[in-house]
Structures are given as structure tokens and as C-alpha cells.
Amino acid sequence: MDLESYYEIDRTAEFILSRNFARVALQFPDDLLKDSTKVVRALYTKLASLKASSDEEIRGDGDVGLFVMADTTFGSCCVDEVGASHINADCVIHYGHTCLTPTSTLPAFFVFGKAPINVSNCVNNLLHTADTAGKPVMVLFGLEYAYAMLDLKKAVLEALVSYESQAELEIQFSDVVCSVLEPSGKSSDFGGIMELVGVSHANDAAGVQSGTRHSTGGLVWNVPQGRKVEEYSMFWIGSENAAFANLVLTFNGCEIVRYDATEDRLVTDLSQQRRIIKRRYFLVEKAKDANIVGILVGTLGVAGYLHMIHQMKELVTGAGKKAYTLAMGRPNPAKLANFPECDVFIYVSCAQTALLDSKEFLAPVITPFEAMIAFKSGSQWTGEYVMEFRDLIKLSPEEVGKPSEEARFSFLQGGYIEDQNLDGIDAEDDEGDLALAHATEKALSLRDRHPNSIVKGMAKSGAEFLAARTYHGLDMDSYSSSPEPFIVGRSGKASGYEDEKSCEKK
């Protein structure tokens, strides 16, 4: 496949000129950065050709400026509005895999790419899955295969005519949400992406009224009334990436099979992916015992991220724990190791980057949904999982707070724990001796004949953690102005210093 077709040069140039953009940011992931210079040259050539052939006067002060963004602030799947603002860009052209999360300030145009796929083999595996499942099949795919969905649908219809099956096969296809995002949160299509994957806007609107709308990984589909999503078998076309992991978690009650288009084979053993759910449940139980919580800002462009950060602060403080907000770009074990006082971190980011494998981290990293289960009193995990934090914003503050005064059982510590409530003292008791009495009461540990049966959870701050450390850094005496004498250090090799050799001779 040639470069102009893969990167959709014609459609991108038409979009830029139709909106009269003067400064355009081109965002590439690391694996596609090698083609950035070729894409820029091809876009400049196409823009000049369209301007020369256009009869209408094109508004603007001059030529269009194209700027390549190589290193994104956060995940490469999100639109980097922070980096684009440094060059005063009018819009962002996003290449490669994307989460399609709404932007806050800039419009975004998406080029998903075109990964190779064997349509005939994919259809054969799809029909075999639908025949053996005995239930409706929902086809989902990575966005890099969106261009091939129209051919795949036609091939399925042709194959169903001659396919011999004892039961009537029911196959439905999901649709791409959009190809253009506006900062207002509205999505739109440009250049036929919706038609390319077979989306009918009229039928889509009717489907919303007559069924339940579901979405994941930039895809959307409707489940008719009277039918549950658990009644479907999911057929995923693509690699084992973050979008597939989100699918396994969000729809863990469904049967899921994966067609690997790269290796051209059907994968039915998803035991490794199912272990993700067990791992996430363990992190939730570990977070319940945390005293100091760090809230990691994993995005500055996704709409609603500030509201979610404030909601997480209220949730943590309402549960009697101390919260700190940290912004550090892409988190890694070395960065988070600088905050050893934090027992757990809440990662506020898009759904594609929310699941961090925190095995190498000193403290677990959980999602806002998992924080809701860990810190909300009386909450239990029913198996439902929410990846998009925008869906959690709908919860009212009354549903989030109110910690329980009863002791809870900790599976990790093997005993009951009474959590502290930082907001437990009433306003009228803040002054006078009652405030001191309440503080003293909270500092006492309740124990019976078995010392480990009840553990009082103490919510400490970062300052208290630092004060309890045995090492506080270099001991600098700032009150003394006189210089200190030099001290002669040890000499020699680490395998044997000179003073150690003299001791051995004696």
C-alpha cells in the first residue's frame, strides 16, 4: 500500500482547506514517526495542487504551516492539545491508534491507518464462530481495520447465501464513533469514514431509541430492546492491544474470541486476559488499606478530567485518607518511586492508557472506577467494569462519600480495620476542648484479647511520613557561618581499601 493511501493524504488536505486552518499540528506515534517527513512533503504537494485547481478564493494570510509533534505529553492515543498549544495550532491531525476521547480546546482529525487483513479467511473464521456459538455475534475491530469493514460485510453476505448451518446465523457489526472531534464534544464525519464502515446516521438514531447503546475502543453499537449484551458473543479483529484489554474487562460476561489478522489465525484461549480481572480485584483490595493516596494526572486534554480529579479528591478525603495530586506526564516506576509515602495511586487518564501494569511499581496504580469500589463505603464489585471516567462523573457527590464508622475486614492484613475520617469532626466541635477530645479518640487503637483482631488505620500526611524517616538528606547546619575542616577520605579500590590492607597485615 502506497504512502498517500495509507495516510489518506487527499482526505486530510481537503479537511485542512475546507476549515481554512493556517497552523496544523501533525501528531505521530513512535512507530510511525519515521514516515513524518514523507507525509509532510506529500501534504504540502497536495495542498498546493488543491489551491491551484480551486476556483474559489481561499481565505487566509498565506500558506498552511505543518508542524510535526514527535514526543507527546501523555499517551500517544490521546490528542496532545498541550503540545499543539505551544505552536498555536488551529487543529491536530492524529495518526495511528487512538482512543477517540473528546478534546477540550482544539478540533482533531483522525487518520487510523490501514493494516493488512485477509478478508476471506476472516469471514470463514467469523462464520465458524457464529455457527458454534449458537448466539448472536458482535463484530468489533481495531480502528486500523476500519477501511476493510465494507468489503468484509459484503463478503459475509455473499458467504451466508451458500453457507450450510443448522441454525440461522445472526451477525452484527459495530461502527466507528467518528473521524473528527470538535472541542465542544460533538463528533462529525469528513470524507466518508462513516459510510466506509457502513454507518447509517438515520438507523443509528433509531437504534438509540429502540435499544441500549454500548461503546468501547472508539466503536459503538446498539443492543435491541429485550436483549442483554451478555447474550452476544464478541468477535474481535485485531491485535492484543489496550483496546482489546478494555473489551475483556468491560464485557467480561461475554464470550470473546480474537482473530489475529497479522498471523491470520483465530485465538479462543483468553485465560491470560481473564487473569487481568483477578489482578485488578487484588489491587482494589490493596487500595482499601492505603492511608496516603496520590492522584496522577494522566491527561490535560480529555474533556472532564478536572471534574474527575476533584471528584477523586472528595472520594479519598471522605474515606479518611490523605490525597496528593501529581502531574508528571507518562508515569513509570522511577518517577513514582520519588513519592514513597503514597500507598496507592489513582491514574486519571483515557481508557486506553488507564490500565498500567504496576508489578514493577512500588505502589499499585488503579483506575477511578477501582477507586470508587475501594474508597466508597459499602461498595462491592459485581463484575461490572467502567473504563471511561466520563461515565463516573454522572455519579452525584452523595453517592461517592460518607465513609462507614464500622470496622471492615482486610483480606491482606487478615483482620478488621477502622479507617479514620478526616472530616468526622462537626463544624460546631472544631473549637474548644471537644475538638481535642475527638482528635485524641481517633488516635487511640482499639484492641481486645487478640492484638491483631482490630487495626486502627491512621491517615498520615507526607510531612509526617518524612519526619518518621531515618534519613532526611544531607545534614546542613545553616546557622554556622564558619567553614568546616576537610576530611580525608578512603583511598584505593572498592575490593580493598588501603586502610583495610594495613589491618590485614597486622
Chain segment 319-357, per-residue pLDDT in tens: 888 899 998 878 889 999 888 889 999 999 888 888 887
Between 495 and 59, the higher pLDDT residue: 495
Question: Residue 347 — φ and ψ, nearest 5°?
Answer: -100, 110
Quick one: pLDDT band at residue 404, thresholds 50, 70, 90? low
Between 378 and 197, name the one with better pLDDT.
378
Question: 302: closest CA among 347, 235, 257?
Answer: 347
pLDDT: is 322 or 274 the higher one? 322
Q: Does the pLDDT of residue 415 top 80, yes or no?
A: no
Q: Phi and psi at residue 324, in whole multiples of 5°?
A: -130, 135
Q: Is 222 helix (H, G, I), strand (E, B) or coil?
A: strand
| 3-class DSSP state of 452 | coil
Does residue 39 surpass a pLDDT of 60? yes
Angle 198-135-146 from CA coordinates, rounded to 5°: 25
Which range in 248-252, 299-303, 305-309, 363-367 is most confidently predicted, on average pLDDT? 363-367
Q: How confident is the model at residue 446 (pLDDT cuts 50, 70, 90)?
A: very low
> Which distant-in-sequence residues (6+ apart) come within 8 Å of 5 by Cβ?
114
Indicate the pLDDT class of residue 448, thresholds 50, 70 and 90: very low
Q: What is the reported pLDDT for 389? A: 73
Residue 144: its pLDDT value, please?
92
pLDDT at residue 217, rounded to an integer? 80
Q: Report which listed range, 268-277, 286-295, 462-471, is most confident.
A: 286-295
pLDDT at 27 over 60: yes
- Give the residue-averaged pLDDT of 183-210: 44
Q: Is the pLDDT of residue 458 over 60?
A: no
* Alpha carbons 187 and 198: distance in angstroms, whole number: 17
Q: Name which of 122, 378, 147 is nearest 265 in CA terms.
A: 122
Q: What is the pLDDT of residue 443?
A: 44
Residue 232 has pLDDT above 50, yes or no: yes
Band (pLDDT 50/70/90 cuts) for residue 432 is very low
Minimum mean pLDDT range among 159-173, 415-429, 488-502: 415-429
Report pLDDT for 119.
Answer: 93
Burial class (CB in 10 A: 0-12, 13-18, 19+), 44: middle
Helix (H, G, I), strand (E, B) or coil at 310: helix
pLDDT over 70 percentage in the chain: 73
pTM (two decimals): 0.75
- Band (436; pLDDT cuts 50, 70, 90): very low
Closest CA to 341 of 460, 472, 175: 460
pLDDT of residue 198: 35
Of residues 349 and 477, more confidence is placed in 349
Top-confidence residue, 294 or 477: 294
* Residue 246 to residue 367: CA distance in whole angstroms: 12
> How confident is the prediction for the chain on average, in pLDDT?
78
Residue by residue, DSSP assigns 467-504 as HT-S--S----TT--SPPPP-----EETTEEHHHHHHH
Residue entry with cell 429502540: 210
pLDDT of residue 36: 94
pLDDT given at position 350: 84
Confidence at 305, pLDDT banded by 50, 70, 90: confident
Task: Give the pLDDT band (50/70/90) at residue 102.
Answer: confident
Among 111-120, 172-181, 223-232, 488-497, name the one with the lowest average pLDDT.
Answer: 488-497
Q: Of 192, 187, 154, 193, give the one whose Cα is nearest residue 173.
A: 154
Please compute Rg for the chain using Cα positions: 29
Poorest-pLDDT segment among 89-98, 255-264, 346-355: 346-355
Mean pLDDT of 4-12: 93
**Lookup result for grid cell 498471523:** 263
Q: What is the pLDDT of residues 142-186, one digit of tens each?
A: 999 999 999 999 999 988 887 776 567 889 999 998 889 888 655
DSSP state of 342: -
